[in-house]
Copies of this chain bind each other. A is one copy, B any other.
Amino acid sequence: MPLHGKNLIGYDAVNAGSYTFSGINPNTQEELDTTFHEASDDEVNRAMALAADAFLTFRRLDAAKRADFIDRAADEILNLGDELIQRGMAETGLPEARLIGERGRTMGQLKMFATLIREGSWVDARIDQAIPDREPLPKPDTRLMLQAVGPVVVFGASNFPLAFSAAGGDTASALASGCPVVVKAHRSHPGTAELVGQAVQKAANDTGMPEGVFFLLHGRGRQVGNALVKHPATKAVGFTGSLAGGRALFDLASARPEPIPVYAEMGSLNPVFVLPGALAERGDAIAEGLLGSVTLGVGQFCTNPGLVLGIDGDDLTQFVNKSSDLFNEAMPATMLNAGICDAYQSGLQTLLGTEGVNVAGKSQTDADANKTEAAPHVFTTDVKTFMGQPDLSHEVFGPSTLVVNCGSKADLEAVARDLEGHLTATFHGTEADMTEHQDLISIVEEKVGRLIFNAFPTGVEVCSSMHHGGPYPATTDGRSTSVGTAAILRFARLVCYQGFPQNSLPPELQNANPRGILRLVDDVETRDAI
């Protein structure tokens, strides 16, 4: 499809705003073709009004029709063909294989949610039948289910131009729940976003969705995003990005006359505990795995392991030496954009300037600033320095990690107790290590969303049992996940019907159970009709 640089509003494409910008190739610093038009205030208001109108129809559509739309959106993204991949490469510097893989994941996410709502049990339907002769008072018939919350604003993420952007995880789960979605495209891949947005728009039109279920608005700075979050019709927000950005949106949403939930997934150090038995058995292999995980996608994953904790001893020394050798041999690579690259350099400078922190290894090839490159680094420090310097607990977004030498098991637990919230924590251990360090695991369990054994945190499986989230500051809502089928719960709320006539009830709650979903009827789970 040809790029037009306009904002997608319903089945329209508009460009009334006066500010424009272009995509930039981080590999070459060149401006890419197509001028993108920042959405005007009027366009923001028009989008939100149309979304609010469409909500009433969209949320009550047969789930199968919403599922057809979502499936079709996945197919239309594939139909964009190589144009999408090439534009994505040009705008993000990410390699072809990664973007092809990410496209597959994006389509998989969409189809997973389509499958989820076709099956339908996600609404957690519960029915307690009337007991007219109960004493002292009759018990009324009550029926409960989850329903869509309303128009959702989704912020595209720079580091996942497909899987967490225009038709990414939050868009998929919100549409599945029955919420219209207004995407604020990320400024650093506007063309990629537009192509995907056009695919979703086409899918909506071709499957007969009401106009106003999907929108894609451009903006250079914070103005468009802020206006969307403040708009009264907006009922929830999904965001993936920096702590500063996520917190600003959370604060804005909390200060609204009607506060709304913000699901912001922000920074995380993803601590890796290398326990003694595992280090003795296979320290070199863990060092190799660590290098792979730290440098994957040039370290630009939310689950990038930025902190490694081990107990002092020969095996830890050998692990650090091996890591040094590996990082020395690693090559610089192009980051997503100049801002992210600058922030990485600045994070390195903080580490380099902290007394007690040493460079154990770093790419022996210099990073080329003209190619927006970052050089992999591994640092070391001791537990006292780490616990005394709060800066060391801040994420350095990029291919860098810090190994903390803890003097003892007690030190390890002290560091764990002091951790803020993170998305993940990883344990490399033998089963004996895990038994020996049960207390450590318990402490860490309270701080993270996902605990990993003998693997690495990068590579988030998309499935029903995944949780991608964690206590603040990893996210602004540690109860909720942005990956996996449970992500649909963030865009739903409970609605109860008391004493309603059968034909005024949603199908999920009718006696006949026409959807055949799993329900809790008088506290027994069943797919049977009543």
Does chain B have a CB within 8 A of A442? yes
CB distance from A434 to the nearest CB of B (A): 5
A472 surroundings in chain B (CB, below 8 A): 258-259
Check if A496 sits within 8 Å of B450, measured CB to CB: yes
Q: Is A60 engaged at the interface, CB distance under 8 Å to the other chain?
A: yes
Q: Given the complex, which residues of B lie within 8 Å of A453, measured CB to CB?
A: 497-501, 504
* Chain B residues whose C-beta falls within 8 Å of the C-beta of A121 in the assembled complex: 525
Q: Which of A488-514 contact B (CB under 8 A)?
A: 492-501, 503-504
Bound Cα distance A497, B484 (Å): 14
Mark the stretch among A159-167, A219-227, A351-359, A463-471 that contacts chain B. Answer: A463-471
A428 to chain B, nearest CB (A): 11
The segment from A82-90, A135-143, A402-410 that touches chain B is: A135-143
- When distances are taken between beta carbons in the complex, the residues of chain B under 8 Å from A523 are 464
CB distance from A350 to the nearest CB of B (A): 20
Confirm or deny: A396 has a beta carbon within 8 angstroms of a beta carbon on chain B. no
With both beta carbons as reference points, the residue of chain B lying nearest to A56 in the complex is identified as: B442
Kindly state whether residue A481 has any CB partner on chain B within 8 Å.
yes
- A121, closest chain B residue (CB): B525
CB of A319 closer than 8 Å to a CB of B: no
Q: Which residue of B lies closest to A450 (CB)?
A: B496
| Interface-lining segment among A16-24, A29-37, A454-462 | A454-462
Contact B481 A449 (CB under 8 A): no
Contact A501 B143 (CB under 8 A): no
Residue among A442, A472, A495 with max Cβ neighbours from chain B (10 Å): A495
Q: Among B137, B259, B454, B481, which residue has its beta carbon within 8 angstroms of that of A494?
A: B481
4 closest A-B pairs by CB: A467-B496, A254-B254, A126-B465, A144-B465
Can you list 10 A-B pairs with a CB-CB distance of less than 8 A?
A56-B446, A144-B465, A150-B446, A251-B255, A258-B471, A259-B472, A434-B501, A434-B504, A469-B494, A479-B493
